[in-house]
Amino acid sequence: MPIKKGSMVRAIREKLENSVEATASDTRFPPYIFDTNGEVMETRGDCALVKFGQVPTPNIWLRIDQLEDAK
């Protein structure tokens, strides 16, 4: 199933930890992006804006290939 607005997703730890984005910033990703479901709020190109609603946190842009369906 393609990831689109409204999809429920989780970050894929292996793809995110070894990414260019990880080397460009703090590599200590918060556990909730791997352990809780997030909702895709918007997509642009190969990126998605994800809102993790279980905790009060800012939305985060991630590449779509770093996300998986949260079924």
Each residue of 6-50: pLDDT tens digit?
A: 999 999 999 988 888 778 877 788 888 888 899 999 999 999 999
pLDDT of 4 reads 93
Task: Quote the Cα angle for 59-38-44, to 5°.
Answer: 60
pLDDT at residue 45, rounded to an integer? 94
Q: Edge-to-edge, what's the strand order for the sheet holding 47-51? A: 60-63, 47-51, 38-44, 8-11, 67-69
Q: What's the number of CA atoms in the CB half-sphere (13 Å) around residue 65?
A: 8
What pTM does this model have?
0.84
Q: Is the pLDDT of residue 1 over 80?
A: no
Is the pLDDT score of 55 beyond 70? no
Tell me how far apart the alpha carbons of residues 12 and 3 are, in angstroms, rounded to a whole number: 14
pLDDT of residue 25: 75
The token pair at 41 is 């709020």
